[in-house]
Structure formats: structure tokens, C-alpha cells
């Protein structure tokens, strides 16, 4: 069965410091991975997907199949990055997303 | 245009009661998903519709849960004989079509509290 693990419930960093939110997955098929973000009092929204290989709001994520990881990174954290971040795996068999438990990122001044 | 909407935003009910939660997807989106998010957890898949039919209901926890989408647009999640463990935020999402390439857009959720 598929599984997504986000080991950190809370990550606190200072403004301007680098950020890395960890995500590991378990899936026997070819993975399609996503990062979703939920800002305070807003709905869950897509941040980026691995297939796009793009940088969104300064965030990037690289799929490492050898380590089964999809860590989210940003070189310099901004206050507005404070939010809840969820890593998600799309499994085509059920056409559904399997989410991790989320990491709360807090950027302190 | 408007995003995915869900009503009610909050629902408080008593154990054993029946509840209905409604989802209005983005116009033209053929795929619709229901997820449940318990406190401290990520969203958990419940059921997925392609058009009017439930293409995958493997995430429904038991037969007290049922969902319909009779005209291929609005969907209703129905919970019979509610239990305290059903308390959670119920999220609805829609996408233009099925498949990973199509972004799932989420609604604001319905917070269900079973007393």
C-alpha cells in the first residue's frame, strides 16, 4: 500500500534561513508527487508538482527515487511562508491523493 | 469564477443523527473527490466520482457513509447514525478530468462535530 511520511510536525526557522521540509514515500508504482500548502484561514492549494520541475514562490522539490524522497526546499525563508505543508502521492489506480500528516512551518523574525 | 464551495461550513450534531454535507464543484469539472481530515492528520481519501458514477469508493470507512452525484455536478456526502469518531473536517475537491495531470482544487471544508 502507498504511504507518505512527513517526519516533522513543526519546523521553526528564522527569516532568511534555508528551509527543508522532508517527505518520504512508499509506492510500488511510478510515483507522481505533489506539495500542497494551507495558509492560515485559507483552503488547501497546490504548491508544486514534481513533473513540472518548476520553482514556485522560491520553493523547489526534487524527486529522488533511490531514496524515495521528495523534500521541499527554499534557500531563504520569508515570513509569508509560514503555513501548513502537505506532501501528497497520486496513485492512478484509485485516481486519488495520499497525503502525509503535514509539517507546520513557522518563520520567525 | 467561483471555486469549490461546501455547505454548511460547520455542522454540530448528536450521536446517532443523520447528516448531509454538500459540495459544489467548479463548473465544468467532471471529477469530484471527498476527503476527510481528522485533527493532526492529512486529508484521507474517501470517494471519487467521474461524472455521475462513483469510480472508487474504497476510502469510505463503513456502510454508514454514502455519497451521490446524481447530475454529475453537485455531490452530497451522507452519514447515517453518526458517531463521535466521525468528527472531522470533510473536504471536497474537483478537477477538470481524472488523472494526475489535472490539478485538484479544494473547497474550504465542512467541520463536522458529533457530540
Yes or no, beta carbons of A95 and B40 under 8 Å apart: no
Strand A96-99 relative to strand A83-91, pairing = antiparallel
Residue B30's pLDDT is 93
Using the predicted structure, report yes or no on whether residue A13 has a pLDDT greater than 80: yes
Residue B99's pLDDT is 77
Residue A4's pLDDT is 97
Residue A31's pLDDT is 86
Yes or no, beta carbons of A4 and B40 under 8 Å apart: no
- Judge contact between A61 and A21, C-beta under 8 A: no
* Cβ-Cβ contacts under 8 Å, B33 against chain A: 96-97
Closest chain A residue to B106, measured at CA:
A44
B102: closest CA among A26, A55, A96, A82?
A: A96
Banded model confidence at residue B25, pLDDT cuts 50, 70, 90? very high
| Conformation bin of residue A10: beta by default, left when phi > 0, alpha when psi is -120 to 50 | beta
Using the predicted structure, report yes or no on whether residue A92 has a pLDDT greater than 70: no
Yes or no, beta carbons of A96 and B59 under 8 Å apart: yes
Interval B50-98: pLDDT, tens: 999 888 899 999 999 999 999 999 999 999 999 999 999 999 999 998 7
Strand B5-7 relative to strand B19-24, pairing = antiparallel
* Cβ-Cβ contacts under 8 Å, B55 against chain A: 95
Banded model confidence at residue B4, pLDDT cuts 50, 70, 90? very high
Using the predicted structure, report yes or no on whether residue B1 has a pLDDT greater than 70: no
Interval A41-71: pLDDT, tens: 999 999 998 877 788 899 999 899 999 999 9
**Average per-residue pLDDT in chain B?**
94
Find out whether the peptide bond into A36 is cis, omega within 30 degrees of 0.
Answer: no
Instruction: Give me the residue from A94, A95, A102 closest to B42, CB to CB.
Output: A102
Q: What's the mean pLDDT in B24-51?
A: 95
**Average per-residue pLDDT in chain A?**
93
* Cβ-Cβ contacts under 8 Å, B100 against chain A: 32, 51, 90, 92
Yes or no, beta carbons of A90 and B100 under 8 Å apart: yes
Higher pLDDT: B13 or A54? It is B13
Residue B6's pLDDT is 98
Residue A71's pLDDT is 97
CA distance B45 to chain A (A): 7
Amino acid at each position: 500500500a502507498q504511504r507518505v511520511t512527513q517526519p516533522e510536525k513543526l519546523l521553526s526557522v528564522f527569516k532568511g534561513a534555508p528551509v527543508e521540509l522532508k517527505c518520504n514515500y512508499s509506492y510500488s508504482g511510478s510515483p507522481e508527487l505533489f506539495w500542497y500548502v494551507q495558509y492560515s484561514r485559507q483552503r488547501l492549494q497546490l504548491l508544486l508538482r514534481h513533473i513540472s520541475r518548476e520553482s514556485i514562490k522560491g520553493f523547489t522539490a526534487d524527486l529522488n527515487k533511490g531514496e524515495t524522497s521528495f523534500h521541499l526546499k527554499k534557500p531563504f525563508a520569508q515570513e509569508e511562508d509560514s503555513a501548513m505543508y502537505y506532501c501528497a502521492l497520486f496513485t492512478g489506480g484509485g485516481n486519488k491523493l495520499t497525503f502525509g500528516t503535514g509539517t507546520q512551518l513557522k518563520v520567525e523574525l | 469564477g467561483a471555486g469549490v464551495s461546501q455547505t454548511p461550513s460547520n455542522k454540530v450534531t448528536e450521536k446517532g443523527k443523520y447528516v448531509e454535507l454538500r459540495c459544489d464543484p467548479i463548473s465544468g469539472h467532471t471529477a469530484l473527490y471527498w476527503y476527510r481530515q481528522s485533527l493532526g492528520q492529512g486529508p484521507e481519501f474517501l470517494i471519487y466520482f467521474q461524472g455521475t458514477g462513483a469510480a472508487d469508493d474504497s476510502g469510505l470507512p463503513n456502510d454508514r457513509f454514502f455519497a451521490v452525484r446524481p447530475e454529475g455536478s453537485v455531490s452530497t456526502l451522507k452519514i447515517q447514525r453518526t458517531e463521535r469518531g466521525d468528527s472531522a473536517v470533510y473536504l471536497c475537491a474537483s478537477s477538470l478530468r481524472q488523472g494526475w495531470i489535472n490539478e485538484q482544487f479544494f473547497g474550504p471544508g465542512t467541520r463536522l462535530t458529533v457530540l
